[in-house]
């Protein structure tokens, strides 16, 4: 098991609601990336945080936002939830520019009804 933890493990929300997902990083890792994995598909890169700032972003709308804290843990916030937001949300921590050190958390499964 990696040292990356995510909470909650499962979540059910309704359309229009807001959700916050949390991720704690592996010791020594100061970069956190978030991914959305729909059923039967590969993970899609949402964004990356480094030194508490967004350091790269995939093709996701602004209602997907994030934070990174001084202890390198991170939050993913999604506003105005849509049915298509139902997915497994994965976070990964790593050292900067060292994708091979990406350690993934177990994920948060979000269901939007």
Partner 1 sequence: SQELEQSPQSLIVQEGKNLTINCTSSKTLYGLYWYKQKYGEGLIFLMMLQKGGEEKSHEKITAKLDEKKQQSSLHITASQPSHAGIYLCGADQNTGNQFYFGTGTSLTVIP
Residues making contact with partner 1 (CB under 8 A):
2, 4, 33, 35, 40-45, 48, 50, 55-59, 88, 90, 92, 96-97, 99-100, 102-107, 109
Question: Element (H or E) spanning 18, and its range?
Answer: none
Choice between 45 and 64, CB closer to partner 1:
45
| Least gap, CB of 16 to partner 1 (angstroms) | 26
Choice between 18 and 41, CB closer to partner 1:
41
69: burial class by Cβ within 10 Å (0-12, 13-18, 19+)?
middle
| Least gap, CB of 64 to partner 1 (angstroms) | 15
Choice between 35 and 72, CB closer to partner 1:
35
Q: Among residues 99, 90, 96, 80, which one has the least CA distance to residue 18?
A: 80
**Lookup result for tokens 């991914």:** 35
Choice between 33 and 80, CB closer to partner 1:
33
Whole-number Å distance between alpha carbons of 64 and 74: 13
| Least gap, CB of 27 to partner 1 (angstroms) | 17
């Amino acid at each position: 098991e990696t040292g990356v933890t995510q909470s909650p493990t499962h979540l059910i929300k309704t359309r229009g609601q807001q959700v916050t997902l949390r991720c704690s990083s592996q010791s020594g890792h100061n970069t956190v990336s978030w991914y959305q994995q729909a059923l039967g598909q590969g993970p899609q890169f949402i964004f990356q945080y480094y030194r508490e700032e967004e350091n790269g972003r995939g093709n996701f709308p602004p209602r997907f936002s994030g934070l990174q804290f001084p202890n390198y843990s991170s939050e993913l916030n999604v506003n105005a939830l849509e049915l298509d937001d139902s997915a497994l949300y994965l976070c990964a921590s790593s050292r900067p520019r060292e994708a091979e050190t990406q350690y993934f958390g177990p994920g948060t499964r979000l269901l939007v009804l």
